[in-house]
């Protein structure tokens, strides 16, 4: 069985978890030509499938010795028991499966769970001063980013990214459904790059009047005296729209705003072996006077991505 078979199973798991109304204590996934997901119940045996158990509630007593078993700890999968699966498959599942369960956290918090991802140079730059960023990350990172898009129900950018990068925000490099495109911007922004997916109207969030743009849904939220919309209000709105996980993909100002307002739950930084010496910073945050005021992580790890690596950090805000 290839990793693509497991990827199909993860896509099914993502949809099943997002749509369930049950309290999920444990979950069995049969990965095979026909993937199956069993929530809070034992699976139907299938000798042609690879069986995986994910325990969400550590008090759940599940005895099953024909499944590779993991314990879910927020966005970390702790390997408990190996049955048949090889190291590459276990690493693949451990990397992506936790994000399938994030809707459970969203339903508890009544807001979307926010994940952000950047490819940056060693000196923390995501683009040159002229806006060139292709390609800071390697091909493995690009595929990873598209997998993350497919596992999230929404993808969010600001007006600068929309106007300068002209992104399509699709999952064209992997199988899966395109996430709902969400744009925080003014009415003068150029939406032409987002018009190809006519079945997926762009959700535009702003503080002004409805610009009445084609293939968009506009929502007006109140802003502060500086014209800024509270990120907590954005995440609450996305949750009400049924978007339980949002992939914040830029730009720097938008992501920095989410970070400053403690609205990012998972931060992914792909580190490229480059030094710019100038350019656009990954983050621009309010000045701090002491080290203990810096953004800190409750837990973090480093993961190889092709010939480089990625930093992944968790932040618990509630």
Q: What tens digit of pLDDT does each residue of 251-289 get?
A: 888 999 999 999 999 999 999 999 999 999 999 899 999
Q: How far apart are CA 11 and CA 226, in angstroms?
A: 40
Q: What is the mean pLDDT of residues 136-165?
A: 91
Residue carrying the six token digits 């099914």: 12
Domain stop point among 71, 100, 129: 100
162 and 293, same domain (yes or no): yes
Last residue of a domain, one of 51, 73, 100: 100
What CATH code is carried by the domain that includes residue 206?
Answer: 3.40.430.10
181 and 73 fall within a common domain: no
Same-domain status, 120 and 211: yes
User: What's the CA gap between 285 and 1, in Å, rounded?
Assistant: 46
Of residues 203, 191, 193, the one with CA closest to residue 234 = 203
For residue 84, being part of any structural domain is answered with yes
- Contact assessment for residue 266 and residue 115, using Cβ atoms and an 8 Å cutoff: yes
User: How confident is the model over 188-243, as pLDDT tens digits?
Assistant: 666 777 776 667 888 999 988 887 778 889 999 999 888 889 999 999 999 999 99
User: Both 164 and 67 in a single domain?
Assistant: no
The angle that helices 3-19 and 139-151 make with each other, rounded to 10 degrees, is: 30
Rounded to whole angstroms, how far apart are CA atoms 281 and 252?
A: 7
Helix orientation angle between 87-100 and 3-19, rounded to the nearest 10 degrees: 20
Q: What is the pTM of this model?
A: 0.93
Lowest mean pLDDT among 76-80, 112-116, 128-132, 181-185: 128-132
* Domain count along the chain: 2
Residue 182 belongs to domain spanning: 111-314
SS3 175: coil
């Amino acid at each position: 069985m290839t990793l693509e078979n497991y990827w199909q199973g993860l896509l099914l798991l993502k949809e099943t978890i997002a749509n369930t109304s049950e309290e999920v204590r444990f979950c069995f996934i049969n990965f095979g030509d026909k993937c199956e997901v069993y929530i809070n119940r034992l699976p139907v045996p299938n000798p042609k499938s690879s069986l995986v158990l994910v325990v969400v509630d550590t008090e759940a007593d599940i005895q099953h010795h024909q499944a590779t078993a993991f314990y879910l700890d927020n966005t970390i999968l702790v390997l408990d028991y190996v049955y048949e699966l090889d190291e590459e498959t276990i690493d693949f599942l451990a990397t992506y499966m936790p994000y399938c369960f994030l809707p459970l956290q969203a339903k508890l918090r009544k807001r979307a769970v926010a994940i952000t991802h950047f490819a940056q140079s060693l000196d923390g730059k995501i683009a040159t001063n002229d806006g060139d960023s292709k390609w800071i990350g390697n091909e493995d990172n690009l595929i990873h980013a598209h997998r993350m898009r497919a596992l999230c129900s929404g993808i969010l950018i600001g007006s600068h990214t929309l106007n300068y990068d002209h992104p399509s925000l699709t999952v064209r490099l992997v199988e899966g459904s395109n996430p709902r495109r969400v744009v925080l911007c003014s009415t003068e922004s150029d939406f032409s790059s987002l018009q190809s997916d006519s079945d997926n109207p762009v959700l535009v969030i702003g503080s002004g009047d409805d610009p009445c743009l084609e293939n968009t849904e506009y929502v007006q939220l109140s802003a502060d005296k500086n014209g800024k919309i509270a990120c907590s209000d954005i995440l609450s709105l996305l949750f009400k729209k049924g978007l339980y996980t949002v992939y914040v993909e830029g730009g720097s100002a938008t992501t920095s705003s989410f970070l400053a307002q403690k609205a990012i739950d998972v931060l992914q930084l792909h580190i490229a072996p480059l030094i710019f010496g100038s350019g656009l910073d990954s983050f621009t945050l309010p000045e701090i006077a002491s080290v203990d005021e810096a953004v800190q992580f409750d837990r973090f790890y480093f993961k190889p991505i092709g010939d480089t690596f990625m930093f992944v950090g968790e932040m618990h805000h509630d």
